[in-house]
Amino acid sequence: MKLIRERKLTKPILIALVLVAASSVFALPADPDNAALLYYQVFLIHERPDDTMQDMIADFADGKIEADSRITKFIETQKTVIELAAAAAELPDCDWGLKYSQGFAMQIPYLVQTKQLARLILADARISAAKGDYNLAIDRYLTARKFAVHIALEPTIINLLVGISIEKIANKCIQDILSSASIKPETLQYLNAQLDQIDNNLLPIKLYYDTEREVMTMYMTSEKTRQVLPFLDSERESKFNEARELILTADEQFYQSNRQYFNEHMNAIFSALELPYQQGYVELKRLDEGPPEQFKENPDATMTAIMAPAVHKIYNHDVSRKTFSNVLKAALEIYIIAAGTGKLPDVLPAGLPKDLFSGEDFEYEKKADGFVLSCRAKDLDEDKIHEYEFKLRK
Amino acid sequence: MRPTENIEGFIRKRKLHIATSADADKRILNDSFAAMETAKAKLTGSWRNRWTMVWASKVRRLAAAAVIILLIGFVIVHQVSRRQTDGQAVMEAAKSPAEMLTFVSLTMAYRKGGIDALERQCEQAVELLGPRREDLSIGELLEELNSNGMNSERTEL
């Protein structure tokens, strides 16, 4: 009996001992799961080159000049920074910790170094491609694209615009790399899948306008409006002197009516965003131009006239960048076919991402040394049809 | 022919050869200095006479005072307006990166000049923030701390 009881006790005692031992093993804290924490570290250790070098890196990253030994050497010294940024870009979450409750006084300090960092990463992509290390070149390009998405995860229009600006130079970089390299089909497929994933992580443009609406509404009170007036630029100052007079002498009823007008204006903008590009752009432009013309007859439009952003311009940037991303994905499919068959397809394969200016497939033209994909409708803001040229390395 | 050219022509044609000596040079110099002193004395005298004439007349005295006051006024106004312009420039230059990087400041930069203006504002803020360290690893920090400890010198906090 005693033996049986002892055996019965042995097992729980052993389990308890194992648990005690396991709990005493020290574990390092986990790495951050917020990409912004790593980006902030990157900004702290990123060495700012002198002006000449900075210009050289910018021109090289943008594809305007060839690499020289000075650029290569500098990029080599920045590997720690680039690797840390690459690690940050792989994290799905990125919370920059903005204090939205501060409204217009909210600080967005990280934006100062974003373009420089992006160019550093893209310069490394171009150097890697020139060395024939296409896998690393593509990884660097993807880091820049993911970084752009992370910046625009904070739903302010400023973040969106900076993200778009980085995305644009990154896409130009991969367009050049694809045109100068002979890349394996599986690498191209990997890149295409990654681009789909990146595009899926973009926030809808409506969300940025929602934030703008919230912040603007915060300032549509007699006390808060006075804080914003000094920031209005000189051109607007002269144009809206009359509006200022109205605002400075207004009562609470004025602000209430103005808030209502602004909300209706924003609702009309949201409806216009649902339209196809050509109608949507025209309608947004009409809405943008309305309040500045109306407020003299209709004082309810005053605050909207002074504070509402030029939505049609921002919308155009968004359509333009999405079209560039689509054209890259369409081009990748063509490169994959060319890599498999040894020649370019005669017609554009079906089911490829579309030109968002027209809502149709891109126009495909075979050339002696590559191909051109063109939009089928005008970019109404720039008043031109975009064409994207890709070369095929034999 | 103009007088200068006349003299030049005369010298060129005649090929003047003037023999000089130390005594002659000294005499010429002494004469020149004496002539200069006489001319200077005459000039001072003439200015003194003019001022005496001005101060003798009450109307002229008032006119001269008015001119002086106007001149002083002009200088003061000019200096103040220059200081104000400089002050404005200083205020603009002193705009801190923190002010340049607020939501409203960046938004207004974009509204003024699009993405380019927004980027320019960021660039200017970077300029003001100054350079960053190239690397700051834990290894380096430890090395720095250890060296401070080993140095037995007072470590400034």
- Condensed to tens digits (0 to 9), the pLDDT of residues A302-350 reads 888 888 888 999 999 999 999 999 999 999 999 999 998 989 999 999 9
Q: Chain B within 8 Å of A165 (Cβ-Cβ)?
A: yes
The β-bridge partners of A355 are A360
Kindly give, in sequence order, each residue whose CB lies less than 8 Å from that of residue A88, ignoring residues fewer than 6 positions away.
A35, A36, A38, A39, A42, A94, A147, A150
pLDDT at A350: 93
**φ, ψ for residue A363 (rounded to 5)?**
-80, 130
Judge whether residue A137 has pLDDT over 90.
yes
Confidence of residue A33 (pLDDT cuts 50, 70, 90): very high
Contacts of B104 in chain A (CB under 8 A): 104-105, 228, 231
Instruction: Please give the Cα distance from A324 to A168 (Å, whole number).
Output: 8
Buried b (16+ CB within 10 A) or exposed e, A1-39: eeeeeeeeeeeeeeeeeeeeeeeeeeeeeeeeebbbbbb
Instruction: Please give the Cα distance from B101 to A174 (Å, whole number).
Output: 31
Averaged pLDDT for residues B62-85: 62
What is the least distance, in Å, from the CA of A254 to any CA of chain B?
Answer: 23
pLDDT at B51: 60
Contacts of B105 in chain A (CB under 8 A): 231
In the chain, the amino acid numbered A276 is P
Q: Are A231 and B98 inside 8 Å of each other by CB? A: no
Confidence of residue A142 (pLDDT cuts 50, 70, 90): very high
Lowest mean pLDDT segment, chosen from A157-171, B12-26, B57-71: B12-26
Instruction: Please give the Cα distance from A155 to A106 (Å, whole number).
Output: 13
Q: Are B106 and A111 inside 8 Å of each other by CB? A: yes
Q: Chain B within 8 Å of A76 (Cβ-Cβ)?
A: no
CA B99 vs CA A151, A232, B35: distances in Å: 20, 15, 70
Lowest mean pLDDT segment, chosen from A39-53, A350-364, B6-20: B6-20
Six token digits for residue A188? 């191209």
Q: Are A161 and B118 inside 8 Å of each other by CB? A: yes
Contacts of B97 in chain A (CB under 8 A): 109, 112
Q: Report ipTM for this prediction.
A: 0.70
pLDDT at B124: 80
What is the least distance, in Å, from the CA of B75 to any CA of chain A?
Answer: 31
Instruction: Yes or no: say if A363 and A336 are a contact pair by the CB < 8 Å rule.
Output: no
Confidence of residue B121 (pLDDT cuts 50, 70, 90): confident
Q: Is A351 left (phi over 0), alpha (psi -120 to 50) or beta?
A: left
Q: Chain B within 8 Å of A246 (Cβ-Cβ)?
A: no
Instruction: Please give the Cα distance from A212 to A308 (Å, whole number).
Output: 8
What is the least distance, in Å, from the CA of A161 to any CA of chain B?
Answer: 7
Half-sphere exposure of B4 (CA within 13 A, CB side): 0
Contacts of A46 in chain B (CB under 8 A): 132
What is the least distance, in Å, from the CA of A231 to any CA of chain B?
Answer: 7
Instruction: Please give the Cα distance from A318 to A207 (Å, whole number).
Output: 13
Handedness of CA A165, A170, A176, A179 (dihedral sign): negative
Location of structure tokens 């050497």:
A73
Cβ atoms within 10 Å of A94's Cβ, excluding its own: 23
Q: Chain B within 8 Å of A80 (Cβ-Cβ)?
A: yes
Nearest residue to A120 (alpha-carbon basis) of A46, A39, A176, A66? A46
Instruction: Yes or no: say if A124 and A140 are a contact pair by the CB < 8 Å rule.
Output: yes
Lowest mean pLDDT segment, chosen from A14-18, A177-181, B106-110: A14-18
Instruction: Please give the Cα distance from A155 to A158 (Å, whole number).
Output: 8
Q: Chain B within 8 Å of A211 (Cβ-Cβ)?
A: no
| pLDDT, greater one: A118 or A109 | A118
Instruction: Please give the Cα distance from A80 to A42 (Å, whole number).
Output: 9
Six token digits for residue A322? 């999405």
Six token digits for residue A185? 């089909």
Q: Are A45 and B134 inside 8 Å of each other by CB? A: yes
* Alpha helix segments (H runs only) across A295-393: 302-307, 311-341
Lowest mean pLDDT segment, chosen from A152-161, A169-178, B99-108: B99-108
pLDDT at B91: 34
Confidence of residue A26 (pLDDT cuts 50, 70, 90): confident
What average pLDDT does the structure give for chain A? 90
Q: Chain B within 8 Å of A35 (Cβ-Cβ)?
A: no
Lowest mean pLDDT segment, chosen from A40-44, A318-322, A360-364, B71-75: B71-75
Nearest residue to A156 (alpha-carbon basis) of A100, A219, A89, A231? A100
| pLDDT, greater one: A240 or B2 | A240
Lowest mean pLDDT segment, chosen from A58-67, A111-120, B16-25, B96-105: B16-25
CA A334 vs CA A172, A194, A202, A326, A363: distances in Å: 17, 17, 25, 13, 13
Closest residue, chain B, to A161 (C-alpha): B115
> Count of residues for chain B?
157
Element (H, E) at B92: helix B58-93
Confidence of residue B110 (pLDDT cuts 50, 70, 90): confident
Confidence of residue B81 (pLDDT cuts 50, 70, 90): very low
pLDDT at A32: 93
Q: Are B103 and A44 inside 8 Å of each other by CB? A: no
Query: Which A residues, 322 through 361, put their C-beta within 8 Å of a C-beta on chain B?
Result: none
Averaged pLDDT for residues A349-378: 96
Among candidates A48, A158, A232 on the partner chain, residue whose Cβ is nearest the Cβ of B103: A158
**φ, ψ for residue A348 (rounded to 5)?**
-70, 125
Instruction: Please give the Cα distance from A321 to A277 (Å, whole number).
Output: 13
What average pLDDT does the structure give for chain B? 61
| pLDDT, greater one: B73 or A97 | A97
Q: Are A108 and B136 inside 8 Å of each other by CB? A: no
| pLDDT, greater one: B34 or A112 | A112
Confidence (pTM): 0.73
Lowest mean pLDDT segment, chosen from A16-30, A372-386, B87-101: B87-101
Nearest residue to A337 (alpha-carbon basis) of A211, A199, A192? A192
Alpha-carbon dihedral of residues A380, A385, A390, A391, nearest 10 degrees?
A: -150
Q: What is the pLDDT of residues A118-133, one digit of tens each?
A: 999 999 999 999 999 9
Sheet bearing A363-367, strands edge to edge: A363-367, A370-374, A387-391
The β-bridge partners of A370 are A367, A391
Instruction: Yes or no: say if A259 and A219 are a contact pair by the CB < 8 Å rule.
Output: no
* Chains A & B: contacts with CB separation below 8 Å: 88
Judge whether residue B72 has pLDDT over 90.
no
Averaged pLDDT for residues A152-172: 95
Instruction: Yes or no: say if B140 and B146 are a contact pair by the CB < 8 Å rule.
Output: no
Among candidates B102, B111, B132 on the partner chain, residue whose Cβ is nearest the Cβ of A47: B132
Judge whether residue A88 has pLDDT over 60.
yes
Six token digits for residue A219? 């300032």
Mutate to test the interface with A, among B88, B116, B118, B122 (most CBs of A within 10 A): B122
Six token digits for residue A41? 């570290």
Six token digits for residue B154? 């007072």
3-state secondary structure of B5: helix
Angle at A75 between CA A47 and CA A178, to 5 degrees: 135
Contacts of B112 in chain A (CB under 8 A): 233, 235
Judge whether residue A245 has pLDDT over 60.
yes
3-state secondary structure of A34: strand
Nearest residue to A172 (alpha-carbon basis) of A58, A307, A27, A316? A58
Q: Chain B within 8 Å of A48 (Cβ-Cβ)?
A: yes
Judge whether residue B148 has pLDDT over 70.
no
Lowest mean pLDDT segment, chosen from A276-290, A338-352, B32-46, B50-64: B32-46
Mutate to test the interface with B, among A77, A83, A84, A112 (most CBs of B within 10 A): A112
